[in-house]
């Protein structure tokens, strides 16, 4: 249970002497913290879902969950309540207009100097994020490879974004936790994408990287942890394994940006997928903050 009420800020007395209290607009962490080094952007784009929809409701479901859960990051034992996030709101998106929506995200990211944390929405957004932020290395957590040339006739499907990206630019890439893919994807991955399967793989792969962008499709986790996804895939990773793999990256190189995608609230009746997505952000940003930002402040 979250104790300090972070959301009540504005109040006034009505002519009838009734205290009117406004809560702030829904923000990640319950409050917009302008001096945070992390900027949160929602990208509620949903236009190419291949099985079950609902991801357009993802960003606000995550924000809602984030108001009520503890922000203590267990892996590095640091309370992110001290840092919080500068939630900038949602990027305008329109269903069915993939390129236009992605373009809006690219323009938004070009104007942000903080470390962007993007809440999806479909996985397609990572194409634009990596294109604009130009990280040295890309670490993707996903049950799928998203390397199809086209899916259901759409070359901009969420099953194709990584292929579109790697066709355009060379970025050292690892997909961790993949377990549902087609032959054509494995073929394309050869020599281009490292497949992370167990603890230690990220440690070896991250060598030589200057920074890393981390993209988390919540279907990488076992469906018992994240039932609210579009394409559930059994035999997923645990949250503990996720934390260890991220630590292998962020204890060596700083975070350039991150996203958490594919949360589908209609298939998340208990809300635990949104809670886990919140914790993904809290734990990952805390690892970066404790390792790289605090050091900056003290040096």
Binding-site residues for Mn(2+), please?
Answer: 123, 142, 144, 146, 217, 219
Nearest alpha-carbon partner for 42 in 2, 72, 85, 9: 85
- Per CB under 5 A, residues contacting Mn ion are 142-144, 217, 219
Give min distance, CB of 105 to Mn ion, in A: 19
Give min distance, CB of 129 to Mn ion, in A: 16
Nearer to Mn ion, 142 or 259 (CB): 142
Going by their DSSP bridges, the two strands 172-176 and 78-79 should be labelled as unpaired
The two three-digit tokens of residue 188, written as one number = 């394309």
Cα–Cα distance measured from residue 248 to residue 291, given in angstroms and rounded to the nearest whole number: 12
Cα–Cα distance measured from residue 25 to residue 28, given in angstroms and rounded to the nearest whole number: 10
Nearer to Mn ion, 181 or 289 (CB): 181
Nearer to Mn ion, 262 or 283 (CB): 262
Tell me how crowded residue 86 is: count the other CB atoms within 10 A of its CB.
20
Cα–Cα distance measured from residue 26 to residue 121, given in angstroms and rounded to the nearest whole number: 17
List binding-site positions: 123, 142, 144, 146, 217, 219
HSE value, Cβ hemisphere, 13 Å, CA-based, for 196: 30
Write b or e for each residue in 192-231: b if 16 or more Cβ atoms lie within 10 A of its Cβ, otherwise e.
ebbbbeeeebbbebbeebebbbbbbbbbbbbbebbbbbbb
Nearer to Mn ion, 148 or 256 (CB): 148
Give min distance, CB of 231 to Mn ion, in A: 6
Nearer to Mn ion, 73 or 147 (CB): 147
Secondary structure letter of residue 291 according to DSSP = I
Give min distance, CB of 80 to Mn ion, in A: 26
Give min distance, CB of 218 to Mn ion, in A: 8
For 25-91, list the strands marked E by DSSP. Answer: 38-43, 72-73, 78-79, 86-90
Nearer to Mn ion, 44 or 120 (CB): 120
Give min distance, CB of 182 to Mn ion, in A: 13
């Amino acid at each position: 249970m979250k104790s300090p009420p972070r959301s009540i800020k504005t109040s006034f007395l009505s002519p009838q002497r009734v205290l009117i209290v406004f809560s702030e607009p829904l923000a990640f962490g319950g409050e917009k913290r302008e001096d945070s080094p992390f900027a949160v952007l929602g990208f509620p784009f949903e236009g190419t879902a291949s099985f079950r929809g609902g991801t357009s409701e993802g960003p606000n479901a995550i924000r809602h969950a984030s108001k009520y859960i503890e922000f203590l990051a267990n892996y590095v034992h640091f309370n992110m309540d001290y840092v919080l996030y500068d939630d900038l709101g949602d990027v305008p998106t329109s269903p069915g207009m993939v390129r236009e929506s992605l373009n809006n995200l690219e323009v938004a990211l070009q104007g942000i100097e903080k470390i962007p944390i993007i809440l999806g929405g479909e996985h397609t957004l990572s194409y634009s994020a990596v294109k604009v932020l130009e990280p040295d290395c890309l670490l993707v957590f996903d049950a799928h490879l998203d390397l199809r040339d086209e899916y259901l006739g759409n070359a901009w499907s969420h099953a194709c974004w990584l292929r579109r990206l790697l066709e355009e630019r060379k970025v050292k890439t690892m997909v961790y936790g993949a377990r549902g893919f087609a032959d054509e994807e494995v073929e394309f991955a050869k020599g281009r994408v490292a497949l992370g399967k167990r603890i230690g793989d990220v440690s070896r792969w991250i060598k030589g990287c200057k920074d890393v962008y981390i993209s988390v499709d919540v279907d990488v986790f076992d469906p018992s942890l994240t039932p609210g996804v579009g394409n559930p895939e059994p035999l997923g990773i645990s949250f503990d394994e996720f934390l260890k793999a991220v630590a292998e990256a962020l204890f060596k190189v700083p975070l350039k940006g991150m996203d958490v995608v594919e949360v589908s609230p209609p298939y998340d009746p208990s809300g635990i997928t949104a809670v886990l997505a919140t914790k993904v952000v809290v734990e990952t940003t805390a690892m970066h903050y404790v390792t790289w930002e605090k050091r900056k402040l003290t040096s």
